A and B are shown apart, each in its own frame.
Chain A
Amino acid sequence: MAERPLTDRLDETIDALVARRDATAALHDPELAPLARIAADLRDYPRPDFKARLRAQLEGRPSMTAVSTTPAIREGFSTVTPYIRVREAGLVSFLAQVFDAQETFSGRGGGGGMHREERAGDSMVIVGEGGGAGVMPLRPVAFHVLVKDADATFKRAIAAGARSLGEPADRSYGERSGFVADPFGNHWYISTPIGPESFTGAARTVTPVLHVQGAADYLGFLKQALGAVEDMRHDEGGRLRYARLRVGDAAVELGEGEPMPGSFLLYVPDPDARYEQAMASGATSLMPPADQPYGRIGGVEDARGNQWFFSRP
Chain B
Amino acid sequence: MTKTTEDDRLLIEAAQADPARFVEIYELYVDRIYSFVSRRIENRAAAEDITSQVFVQALGAIGRFEWRGLPVSVWLFRIASNALADHWRERARTAQEAPGVPDPHELEDIERRIAFYQQVEQLPELQRQVIRMRFVEEKSIHEVAAALDRSEGAVKQLQLRALEKLRKSMASHG
CB distance from A254 to the nearest CB of B (A): 15
Q: Is the interface of B mostly helix, strand, loop or mixed?
A: helix
Given A34-B167, A57-B52, A122-B93, verify A62-B136 contact (CB < 8 Å).
Answer: no
Enumerate chain B residues within 8 angstroms of A69, measured Cβ to Cβ.
52-53, 56
CB-defined contacts of A20 to chain B, threshold 8 Å = 42
* Interface residue A1 (Cβ < 8 Å from any Cβ of B): no
Check B156 against A11 for contact (C-beta < 8 Å). Answer: yes
Q: Mark A212-229, 1 if CB is under 8 A from B, else 0.
A: 000000001001100101
A39 to B162, CA, bound (A): 10
Of A50, A58, A249, the contact of B23 (CB 8 Å cutoff) = A58
For the complex formed, measure the closest distance between the CB of A148 and the CB atoms of chain B, giving whole angstroms.
Answer: 13
What is the total number of residues of chain B having a CB less than 8 Å from a CB of chain A? 56
**B62 at interface by CB-CB < 8 Å:** yes
Kindly identify, within residues 138 to 162 of chain B, every residue whose CB is under 8 Å from any CB belonging to chain A: 138-143, 153, 156-157, 159-160
Considering only CB atoms and an 8 Å cut-off, how many residues of chain A contact the other chain? 48
Top 5 closest A-B pairs, CB basis?
A67-B60, A7-B156, A44-B38, A64-B63, A42-B135
Chain A residues packing against B (C-beta within 8 Å): 6-8, 10-11, 14-15, 18, 20, 34-35, 38-39, 41-48, 50-51, 54-55, 57-59, 61-65, 67-69, 79, 122, 202, 220, 223-224, 227, 229-230, 246, 248-249
Binding site for A on B (CB under 8 A): 19-20, 22-23, 26-27, 30-31, 34-35, 38-39, 42-48, 51-53, 55-56, 59-60, 62-63, 91-93, 113, 116-117, 120, 131-132, 134-136, 138-143, 153, 156-157, 159-160, 163-164, 166-167, 170
